[in-house]
Structure 1
Amino acid sequence: MNNPFSLENKTVLITGASSGIGKSVSIECAKMGAKVIITGRNENRLKDTFNELEGDGHNMIVADLSNMNDIKELANECSKLDGISHNAGIAKIVPVKFVNKDDLDNILFTNATGPIFLTQMLLRSKKIKNNASVVFTSSLSGIYCVHYGESMYAASKGALSGFAKGAALELAAQGIRVNCVNPSIIQTHIFETTGVLSDEELKEKIKNYPLRRLGVPTDVSYAIIYFLSDASSWVTGNDLKIDGGYTLI
């Protein structure tokens, strides 16, 4: 039986694959039959992800996507792609009065400028096939809402979603689709072990979600698989909220 969500015979590049959402996307894409090229800056953690991949024909490339030279090398090393899942990103909570150039430059480059130039370089070198799919992991923040101290992060994600819409329009003639997923808080191993929120704070936070839980990485990776697959062949230029109903309240 034909499965429109299958990624068989597709090659997908996944950034930020050493942890969190990027790791989940890598593992789930491989389960769906894709050959995946995973990249991240931490070689040991990237190897851990690689060892969890089902199937054969996968590849890993260590690269720091806050470094333009690494972006160029990654673009050069990639084979032809049917899909890209951009997940590398950072955040820092800083009130507007204390925003500084170093933090702003770092957040904007890692979250927006780097993914934009990687996409551009892959296009110029004809590494992205016609009818391919590009998916950016954006955020609720900067598109649908924002929290105190998130102005720099929101700016970076707003820029990413804006770029995706422009790219979707320009690349439609080649059948290349460009979409964003926009998750709210996602519980990853790092989130759980760094003590960002106490148990009591976590219980209070969950009250803001009508579905009464925070997200988990597969909530996002399954949505990304939808955009990478032929099931979304008539969908481009979208921001998809993945928020457990958070923005309904």
Structure 2
Amino acid sequence: MNNPFSLKGKKVLVTGASSGIGRQIAISASAMGAETYITGRNDQRLSEVFDLLEIPGKKYIADLTIEQELNDIVEQLPNLDGVVLSAGIIKALPFKFVNKTDLDAIFQTNFISPSFLVNKLLRAKKLNKKGSVVFISSIAGNYIGSIGNSMYSASKGAMNAIQKVIAIELAPQKIRVNNISPGMIRTALIDDDTFTDEQMKEDEKKYPLGYGEPADVANGAVYLLSDASKWVTGSTLVIDGGFIIR
């Protein structure tokens, strides 16, 4: 029987693939049959991920906030059937302490770089018809506000807005453009000293199904990359363990 979730024969690029959600998406996409291309800033970690790919394409060590490095990657890439934009950073600050340097850095990584990567792929005609673009957003950019998270939420909100417009513009080519908005996922991004273990355990109680794992988001990305979602575009796939129903 035909498996609509299979990625066999597809070429897929995953950004932010050296760690966390991006790492798992790359591994899962490859396991589902995609020839997987990955990019990240950490050579050692990216190489470790590349070695785990069942169908490796190529790895690109690059900082996508640097335009020349972005241009170089687009030039080297083959024509793609899917792109997952997973690179992202976060910095918590009360709004009254927000400064232009931090805001610019977060927007450059979370919004401007992924937007221009899609822009440049389209200009170079390297995104195939019936392809799929998947932005990794957050419930913080769609549904909730949390103290100290204004910069991150704003960058994800901008991503969600531009995604919908791109989806309309690319519909004639049957290219789908969607976003996944996860809740709290257990990655290194939350393993810092900002909150104590007790605070994290208390926060997890807000999630009916508890915190998520990278594989939970990766499975959603596989769906949106696959032909199973061929009639889905401009949508937000919330994967949050039930947080927003509270």
Q: What TM-score results when the alignment is normalised by the length of structure 2?
A: 0.97
Report what 1:241 is aligned to.
238
Report what 2:26 is aligned to.
26
Aligned partner of residue 144 in structure 1, secondary structure: coil
Uncovered stretches (5+) of structure 2, i.e. residues with no partner: none
Relative distance call for 1:93 and 1:208 in structure 2 (3 A) is: same
Question: Are residue 232 (structure 1) and residue 232 (structure 2) matched?
Answer: no
The one-letter code of the counterpart of 2:224 is F
Report what 2:123 is aligned to.
124
Report what 2:214 is aligned to.
217
Report what 1:62 is aligned to.
61
Structure 1 residues 83-119: Cα deviation after superposition (integer angstroms, max 9, x where no partner)? 0000000010011111111101110010000000000
Report what 1:206 is aligned to.
204
Distance 1:214 1:16 in 2: 21
Distance 1:116 1:99 in 2: 23
- Report deviation, 1:198: 2.9
- Report deviation, 1:74: 1.1
Structure 1 residues 159-216: Cα deviation after superposition (integer angstroms, max 9, x where no partner)? 0010100000000000000000000111024534x344433222211210112x1010
Report what 1:134 is aligned to.
133
Report what 1:84 is aligned to.
83
Report what 1:169 is aligned to.
168
Distance 2:129 2:44 in 1: 34
Distance 2:205 2:88 in 1: 27
The one-letter code of the counterpart of 2:41 is R
Distance 1:166 1:7 in 2: 26
Distance 1:215 1:86 in 2: 19
Structure 1 residues 108-150: Cα deviation after superposition (integer angstroms, max 9, x where no partner)? 0100000000000000000000000000000001210111011
The one-letter code of the counterpart of 2:13 is L
Distance 1:168 1:73 in 2: 25
Residue identity over aligned pairs, in percent, reads 48
Question: Are residue 53 (structure 1) and residue 53 (structure 2) matched?
Answer: yes
Relative distance call for 1:189 and 1:101 in structure 2 (3 A) is: closer
Kindly tell me the number of residue pairs found equivalent between the two proteins.
Answer: 246
Relative distance call for 1:125 and 1:104 in structure 2 (3 A) is: same
Report what 2:177 is aligned to.
178
Question: Are residue 4 (structure 1) and residue 8 (structure 2) matched?
Answer: no
Uncovered stretches (5+) of structure 1, i.e. residues with no partner: none
Cα RMSD over matched residues? 1.1
Distance 1:172 1:142 in 2: 24
Q: What TM-score results when the alignment is normalised by the length of structure 1?
A: 0.96
Report what 2:151 is aligned to.
152
- Tell me which moved more, 235-244 or 67-76: 67-76
